[in-house]
Amino acid sequence: MKKIKLHGFNNLTKSLNFCIYDIYYTNSKIEKNEYIKYINKKYNAEKLTKILKKTCNIIGAKILNIAKQNYKPHGASVTILISEENKEKKYKNKKIVNKLLIHLDKSHICVHTYPESHPKEKISTFRVDIELSTCGVISPLKTLNYFIKKLKSNIITIDYKIRGFTRDIKGKKIFIDHKIYSIQNYINKKIKKLYDMTDINIYRENIFHTKMMLKYINFKKNFLNKKNINKKKKKKIISSIWKEMKEIYYGKNI
């Protein structure tokens, strides 16, 4: 797309919401406790911060502030305030400029985790919500393949929305500054082969939605205790995981 000559700063806000689900088979109270330990180890605030820092590098953003928190008995959240420019500029009064960056040029990326277990059935479902909101020319869509490869999840739902408007040098309003027909256009072909995918797009409102479900279950990943599993039990476990995946993917209880 031809670069648009703008009147002042690009005021468009681009928001990417990324929700992933991992399903685990937890046969007993001991296995549920092992599941919680595993989640706390793999998705604690420190490790999530590393993932978000890498994301900032991908989109070329400068980190202004990081807030992170681990929760008891499980769960974590991280919020990073970012600006469009990765390199610092020299100003006479840095304190004033930093305040302006926070209020005017700011964007943010945050993550929250939600581990839970079914009260009766032997299924535990872990959810991670990631929200990346940017303004200016930064595109959050550049982070899609990194997140998908890094988290390797059973179910992924992605929402992308462009809000507000900016003006060109003649004063004409611009409600979107890049071509997009589907979020899937930004996902690697190798990744797309692994998932069943559906789209819901509202082009007039610049709202794009994609839902993804793994075509094949990785038994080793979804069942933490792999000892003494015969074929019959393995089949039952896989059936339970599939049921949970389909309910999340289709948004209804089966």
Give the strands of the sheet with 123-135, arranged side by side: 62-70, 76-83, 106-117, 123-135, 13-25, 155-163, 207-214, 195-202
- Residue 130 · residue 147 · CB < 8 Å: yes
- Residue 113 · residue 38 · CB < 8 Å: no
- Residue 21 · residue 214 · CB < 8 Å: no
- Give start and end residues of each alpha helix (H) in 152-208: 189-192
Closest by CA position to 128, among listed 191, 219, 47, 209: 47
Cβ atoms < 10 Å from Cβ of 72: 6
Give the Cα separation of 213 and 190 in Å (integer). Answer: 14
The residues that are catalytic are 107, 112, 135
Largest interatomic CA distance in the chain: 72
